[in-house]
Structure 1
Amino acid sequence: MFWLYFFGLSLLCIIARVYVRLYKVSHVPKEIETEGFELQGRKLQREYLVVYLLAVAADWLQGPYVYALYEQYGFDKAQIGFLFVAGFGSSGIFGTFVGSSADRFGRKRLCLVYGLLYSISCITKHFPNFIILLVGRLLGGISTSILFSSFESWLVSEHNKRLLPGWLLSEIFAKAQFGNGLIAILAGQVANVLASSFGKVAPFDASIIILSIMSLMIYLKWDENYGDSRKEANVGFHFALHSLFAEQRIWLLGVFQSCFESVMYIFVFMWTPALQITSTTIPHGLVFSCFMVALMLGSCTFTILEGYIEVVQLLRISFIVAAVVFIVAISSSTLWAVFFSFVLFETICGIFFPSMAVLRAKTIPNEYRSTIMNLFRVPLNFIVLIVLLADWSVSTTFGVCVFLTVVAIFSHHLYLCQREVQNVREKTVSNDA
């Protein structure tokens, strides 16, 4: 039956993608061509998407065999858990300093550092030594912080520098999320083939090759851009922190982003035990593929809906639906009800990521973009750490997810109120002038 659901979701995704292609062709503003923006826009889109998809491919290749490799080396569950926790802790602690370095020394340089550090992290997987593997996890946590901040910061800065239209940024983010889902499915299959043929460390070696290609593309194709390069990294961090708390809209955005992404990471760890409560025969690889197709479907849904609904309102709907999803998961003991609620959640994630990226681009100042984006990840990492270390039951953990989505809904509502207040002030100032 899961194959049927996979093909059904895939068919829906193909139909949505075809509609998106037709929809975008008919809705691209005519003046774009005459003003010569289209050529520059497509060039930026290619430059970013090729590099970004290589970056996430290197990340996805490693996912399926991290736990299995540690287990093969003879580490017990507690030691493996500590290694995973170290990765999240590293991202939370060092991520903020990484962000300020990107703003000061350049986003291109930090993306190259991502390639280097993640490659070293992959090399450590060849050694069945706990300390060496721990160093690899710490480097992996830092690399993850760069992946989820510096790449996007580079894109937004280049988009603004080239004076490109706003709709193009939304399109790039949507395509990036669609490609991310597709890459996840392909990477999982490639990792399986490599591990079966050459051993469980082979996917990590393949990741090094992809990271090398990605780094070469960045070096040859990307221009450098900065936040505020005049300030020292620690001074830049101080100013970013001040900017975060001085502007209410920014920290409210950080609250609902951290809450929702915490839920997403908790879900990654919990969907398997949640489904196994309802059935012991779960085809995990196929279920994961269904989730990734749903993620792609969500990115297409974002592209379609953003022409009719404001991005900030799409986020409100996403948070409300996510809360309902986990209430269903807690209250139902039927496999299909839980499975389809999870599919719906992944579709919501596909809407959330491009929506959030567009909102960040409008809200966060360019001078400290990478720093602030990494500050947002600090509570996210520690929330996930607490939940994982607590080792609660599935229903209790999903209850926490409901609570976090409610907090996201409330902080999002305050964000909207603050935005309305600012709009009124700007109108008043305009009328007085």
Structure 2
Amino acid sequence: MLVTAYLAFVVLLASCLGLELSRCRAKPPGRACSNPSFLRFQLDFYQVYFLALAADWLQAPYLYKLYQHYHFLEGQIAILYVCGLASTVLFGLVASSLVDWLGRKKSCVLFSLTYSLCCLTKLSWDYFVLLMGRALGGLSTALLFSAFEAWYIHEHMERHDFPAEWIPATFARAAFWNHVLAVVAGVAAEAVTCWMGLGPVAPFVAAIPLLALAGALALHNWGENYDRQRAFSRTCAGGLRCLLSDRRVLLLGTIQALFESVIFIFVFLWTPVLDPHGAPLGIVFSSFMAASLLGSSLYRIATSKRYHLQPMHLLSLAVLIVVFSLFMLTFSTSPGQESPVESFIAFLLIELACGLYFPSMSFLRRKVIPETEQAGVLNWFRVPLHLLACLGLLVLHDSDHKTGTRNMFSICSAVMVMALLAVVGLFTVVRHNAELRVPSPTGEPYAPEL
């Protein structure tokens, strides 16, 4: 597994670099990219946001391994993951309203504090302390994915008065560098685990200075902004009305809940599948992220004016790839007949599919869900998503250790078949809807780059 992991990492990284270099050469410079004031503002945002993302990714490869290192059983580890998911959904429901009321800058600083405390709890062997750490991690995740974006959009529009059309450029670049940071974080996690002498807790200790620096920079360089006009109850009620009144929204939410709940379970399962075979977890994680980056690059190429594939087609392809990969995993994880290389390839295919799925889903959500209702609708999407993931992990908790992983992949396969049926249903509903298509390259508006 050691040689396979390093070889896959090198091949995937080279493929990503090749695709991105060719895309950059073909891409003409835009007006936003040459505006000095805009670039300075972007830099102020990126230096804080990227530190926060780097700290988050640095912890990902060794979370399961850490709990295993503390001699917890797989069922106990599953409960820790369920606690994290439950706190993410609970805090995620109120995060937007909390951030608007408390202040976006204060919320970003609060994120750095709560996530640092979460990392510190990983130094304890006490199960209750680790449960509290998972709850803090859920709060921190909710703040990470609400406070930073809300702060940027308000500053972009209200304080600096930049054109709204420039906002996608900032988040497209952030999405690309988020993938790059994830790749680098996996390698860094592998390095600090080997060199610091602390074992699998090392990446969590190394993340604390990054979080402290992010909080300090936000405190020193950012202005504060608020939005105390929105009520959480009105946001959720409007989102529910939109969800129930538009079949497209309901089907899209079903696909998201089914697909992403399977991805959450995959995040839990990959370590116990590969670690017993001597896989370098940090390099494996970097390979996953490189595969996801490759998928995102392929999405941009496929939807370009040259190839002109539609996001609906790529969403369908992503779901099909995951269905195929999960069927592979049901065979490669059979007790007594494990094939770690085959499992690793299946995991890479799942990450490649994620690279296609997330920009496709983002495009379709923007087109289907009214902008004023997006926050409320997304809150309702998150509830079944995390509920399915929690139920899946609890099923694994009650399963026999030797067959539980294979059974879980079998269940995930069935869930993804349901997601595929929902995709077919969405195709049926929107097949004549030109709004959900990337316009043909004849001078018509083109889909924003993701």
Q: Could you tell me the TM-score, scaled by structure 1's length?
A: 0.80
Alpha-carbon shift at residue 210 of structure 1 (Å): 1.2
**1:164 partner SS:** helix
User: Is 1:412–2:411 an aligned residue pair?
Assistant: no
Instruction: Show the counterpart of 1:14.
Output: 17
Alpha-carbon shift at residue 130 of structure 1 (Å): 3.5
User: Is 1:87–2:84 an aligned residue pair?
Assistant: yes
Letter of the 2:314 partner, please give it: L
Instruction: Show the counterpart of 2:390.
Output: 385
**1:230 partner SS:** coil
Compute the RMSD of aligned alpha carbons. Answer: 3.6
CA offsets 1:97-132 (integer angstroms, 9 cap, x no match): 223333555554433332222122223334444333
Aligned residue runs from structure 1 range 363-402, under 5 A: 363-367=368-372, 369-391=374-396, 392=399, 393-402=404-413
- Provide the C-alpha distance between the structure 2 equivalents of 1:372 and 1:104, rounded to a whole number of angstroms: 20
Alpha-carbon shift at residue 269 of structure 1 (Å): 2.3
- Provide the C-alpha distance between the structure 2 equivalents of 1:340 and 1:68, rounded to a whole number of angstroms: 21
Residue 298 of structure 1 contacts residue 351 of structure 1 at CA under 8 Å; is this kept in 2?
Answer: yes
Q: 1:269 to 1:80 in 2, by over 3 A?
A: closer
State the number of aligned residues.
Answer: 414
Residue 156 of structure 1 contacts residue 361 of structure 1 at CA under 8 Å; is this kept in 2?
Answer: no
**1:309 partner SS:** coil
**2:83 partner SS:** helix
Instruction: Show the counterpart of 1:5.
Output: 8
Aligned residue runs from structure 1 range 29-428, under 5 A: 32-33=30-31, 39=36, 42-43=39-40, 45-67=42-64, 69-70=66-67, 77-102=74-99, 106-152=103-149, 162-165=163-166, 168=169, 171-172=172-173, 174-193=175-194, 195-196=196-197, 198=198, 201-220=201-220, 229-275=228-274, 280-307=277-304, 308-331=308-331, 335-367=340-372, 369-391=374-396, 392=399, 393-419=404-430
The structure carrying a bigger helix percent of its residues is 1
Q: 1:173 to 1:351 in 2, by over 3 A?
A: farther
Deviates more, 1:369-378 or 1:396-405: 369-378
Alpha-carbon shift at residue 242 of structure 1 (Å): 3.4
- Provide the C-alpha distance between the structure 1 equivalents of 2:103 and 2:253, rounded to a whole number of angstroms: 23
Q: Could you tell me the TM-score, scaled by structure 2's length?
A: 0.77
- Provide the C-alpha distance between the structure 1 equivalents of 2:243 and 2:109, rounded to a whole number of angstroms: 27
Alpha-carbon shift at residue 167 of structure 1 (Å): 6.3
- Provide the C-alpha distance between the structure 2 equivalents of 1:55 and 1:7, rounded to a whole number of angstroms: 26
Gap regions ≥5 residues in structure 2: 333-337, 436-450
- Provide the C-alpha distance between the structure 2 equivalents of 1:116 and 1:87, rounded to a whole number of angstroms: 17
Residue 56 of structure 1 contacts residue 183 of structure 1 at CA under 8 Å; is this kept in 2?
Answer: no
- Provide the C-alpha distance between the structure 1 equivalents of 2:80 and 2:339, rounded to a whole number of angstroms: 34
Residue 296 of structure 2 contacts residue 356 of structure 2 at CA under 8 Å; is this kept in 1?
Answer: yes
- Provide the C-alpha distance between the structure 1 equivalents of 2:298 and 2:386, rounded to a whole number of angstroms: 28
Alpha-carbon shift at residue 36 of structure 1 (Å): 8.4
Residue 46 of structure 2 contacts residue 174 of structure 2 at CA under 8 Å; is this kept in 1?
Answer: no
Residue 56 of structure 1 contacts residue 180 of structure 1 at CA under 8 Å; is this kept in 2?
Answer: yes
Letter of the 1:354 partner, please give it: P
Alpha-carbon shift at residue 329 of structure 1 (Å): 2.9
Alpha-carbon shift at residue 263 of structure 1 (Å): 1.7
CA offsets 1:2-49 (integer angstroms, 9 cap, x no match): 133332222212212211221323xx5xxx43x887556645654444
Instruction: Show the counterpart of 1:427.
Output: none
Instruction: Show the counterpart of 2:27.
Output: 24
Residue 326 of structure 1 contacts residue 399 of structure 1 at CA under 8 Å; is this kept in 2?
Answer: yes
Identity over aligned pairs, percent = 33
- Provide the C-alpha distance between the structure 1 equivalents of 2:52 and 2:164, rounded to a whole number of angstroms: 26
Instruction: Show the counterpart of 2:441.
Output: none
Letter of the 2:25 partner, please give it: L
